[in-house]
């Protein structure tokens, strides 16, 4: 029963998207926070930055996500201030996967996309038991079925970063139309080796 309740928490509440192309990585997420059928907050930030060139999307328990986000930032900046070379995105993803796997019997209730650009664009999908996959594109959360259908139909490896950002925006808008836990608007972030640029979008109401 306890495991089933935890899975229900993971399935509810958001839609996040990650797309990797040759010029960088796009991370996107809706802005609605839900508690069951209740809209707990309309303007939650679900795209966060560990460094200017590394970001994550968040889904799951807010407290667990805050702890993991702070931990990843501390690890990244510790390497910088101690004179080591910046930790790679792959190393951050591996560290997080090991931590989640170690605690899987008392899990952090999270679903995380970790992406950015160091030597090359990277995009990783991690779940609460430590499963890790490197992806060209993916979607998580309660609206992922609607979002992934749009992405599957239109993704190309040779897309520009702007084309990928537009695809991510439209994928989450499709979830907003059909998934009650996804809503308000979309944050879309384009991440390159030199940093990130993000925009917010809100659906136009049809009369």
Q: Which sequence positions are flagged as catalytic? A: 14
Which residue intervals of 120-160 are DSSP H helices?
144-154
Element (H, E) at 52: none
Cβ contacts of 124 within 8 Å, gap of 6 or more:
89, 90, 93, 113, 114, 115, 132, 133, 134, 135
How many secondary structure helices (H) and strands (E) does the chain include? 5, 12
Q: Are 122 and 89 in contact (CB under 8 A)?
A: yes
Q: How far apart (Å, rounded) are the C-alpha atoms in residues 178 and 158?
A: 29
Q: How many residues does the chain have?
A: 207
Closest CA to 172 of 47, 37, 21: 47
Q: Is 199 helix (H, G, I), strand (E, B) or coil?
A: strand
CA-based nearest residue to 172, from 194, 206, 202, 133: 202
């Amino acid at each position: 029963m306890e495991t089933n309740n935890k899975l229900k928490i993971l399935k509810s509440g958001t839609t996040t998207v990650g797309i990797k192309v040759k010029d960088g990585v796009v991370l996107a997420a809706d802005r609605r926070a839900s508690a069951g059928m209740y809209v707990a907050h309309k303007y939650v930030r679900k795209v966060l930055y560990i460094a200017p060139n590394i970001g994550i999307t968040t889904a799951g328990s807010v407290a667990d996500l805050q702890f993991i986000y702070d931990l990843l930032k501390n690890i990244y900046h510790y390497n910088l201030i101690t004179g080591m070379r910046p930790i790679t995105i792959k190393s951050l993803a591996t560290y997080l996967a090991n931590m989640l796997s170690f605690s899987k019997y008392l899990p952090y209730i999270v679903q995380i996309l970790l992406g950015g650009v160091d030597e090359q664009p990277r995009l990783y999908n991690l779940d609460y038991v430590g499963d890790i996959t490197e992806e060209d594109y993916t979607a998580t959360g309660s609206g992922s079925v609607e979002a992934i259908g749009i992405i599957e139909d239109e993704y190309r490896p040779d897309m520009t970063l702007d084309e990928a950002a537009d695809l991510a925006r439209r994928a989450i808008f499709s979830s907003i139309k059909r998934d009650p836990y996804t809503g308000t608007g979309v944050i879309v972030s384009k991440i390159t080796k030199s940093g990130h640029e993000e925009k917010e979008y809100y659906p136009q109401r049809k009369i």
